Amino acid sequence: MQKFTSIILTSRDTNEFDRIYIMYTLEQGLVKAVAKGARKPTAKLTGHLEPGTLSEVYIARSRGLGQITGAITLHDFSNIKKDFEKLGSVLEIFRFFGKNFAEGEKDEKIFSLLKSFLSQSSTLGLGYGIITEAFWWKLFDLLGHRPEVMKCVSCRKKLAEKTKKFFSVEKGGIVCAGCVSNFSNLLSLTDNQIKLLRIFLGNPLRKIAKVKVNNEELEKLAKIRKAFRKYNFQS
């Protein structure tokens, strides 16, 4: 039997009484395991295996799918589960994990980023929008897609303030006004948004949580993030 520090991502029913759980673990990255009898009214484990919960999960493995033999909640992040909007952002992130991660690929930095995101998101009020946006960009970075936000991706020159700038999803970074004619499909972005991207890539979430930002800037960044994600990852 092995103990996993797990963030429960999702579950689905199987057989008559069982349920398969997908979790992101510190020890082995994505892990799938079955909880036998989880749908019986007498099941004791299910409360510790709700999506969005951080739990210690015990799994016995012989051949095939591991079997969950025990689970203890470490943190239930109940403030996320009570908030429709927060829950929506978190479930979108969980879906991304399910689609883009393979079983058994351990990454402690990604685990710690996800855990910190859940904990910040759970405690913050209105400021959680910036945390969600920052989380995505930090995740892209950890997955090997760090956007270039210091220099123009085309001419490699340092970006000057108060000039027009654009984002190229294909090139993975910022394009200066002088290089615009070499590209199609550019998205425009402001100096402020570039500053935010630099803050996201250079600071932990708990510090980013203190940055004041208006929603319009975040919404524009979210558009670029969605296009960037669609180009580089499974959705």
| 152, 169, 186, 196: which one binds Zn ion (CB under 5 A) | 152
Q: How far is the CB of 90 from Zn ion (least distance, A)?
A: 37
DSSP letters spanning 92-131:
HHHHHHHHH--BT---HHHHHHHHHHHHHHHH-STTHHHH
176 binds Zn ion per the rule CB under 5 A = yes
Helix, strand, coil percentages (3-state) for the chain, rounded to 5, are 40, 25, 35
Stretch that binds Zn ion, among 57-65, 80-88, 138-146, 173-181 (CB under 5 A): 173-181
Provide the minimum distance between the beta carbon of 116 and Zn ion in the complex, in angstroms, as a whole number.
35
What is the C-alpha end-to-end distance of the chain, expressed in Å?
34
In terms of CB distance, is 155 or 160 closer to Zn ion?
155
**Concatenated DSSP letters for 17-83?**
TEEEEEEEETTTEEEEEEETTTTSTT-SSGGGG-TT-EEEEEEE-SSSSEEEEEEEEEE--HHHHT-
Of 10 and 154, nearer to Zn ion (C-beta) is 154
Q: At closest approach, how far in Å is the CB of 179 from Zn ion? A: 3
Find the part of the chain contacting Zn ion (CB under 5 A) among 33-41, 85-93, 153-161, 200-208. Answer: 153-161
- Letters for 108-147 (x = contact with Zn ion by CB under 5 A, - = none) are ----------------------------------------
Give least dist CB 174 to Zn ion, A: 9
Among 134, 179, 208, 209, binds Zn ion (CB under 5 A): 179
* Count of beta carbons in the 10 Å neighbourhood of residue 86: 22
Position with the least CB separation from Zn ion: 152
Could you give the maximum distance between any two Cα atoms of the chain, in Å? 67
Instruction: Kindly tell me which of 114 and 152 has the beta carbon lying closer to Zn ion.
Output: 152
What values do phi and psi take at 58, rounded to 5? -100, 125
Radius of gyration of the chain measured on its C-alpha atoms = 20
Give me the least distance between CB of 167 and Zn ion, in Å please.
13
Tokens of 74: 């470490």
Looking at 1, 60, 72, 155, which residue binds Zn ion (CB under 5 A)? 155
Give the angle 30-139-222 at the CA atoms, nearest 5°: 125
Binding site for Zn ion (CB under 5 A): 152, 154-155, 176, 179
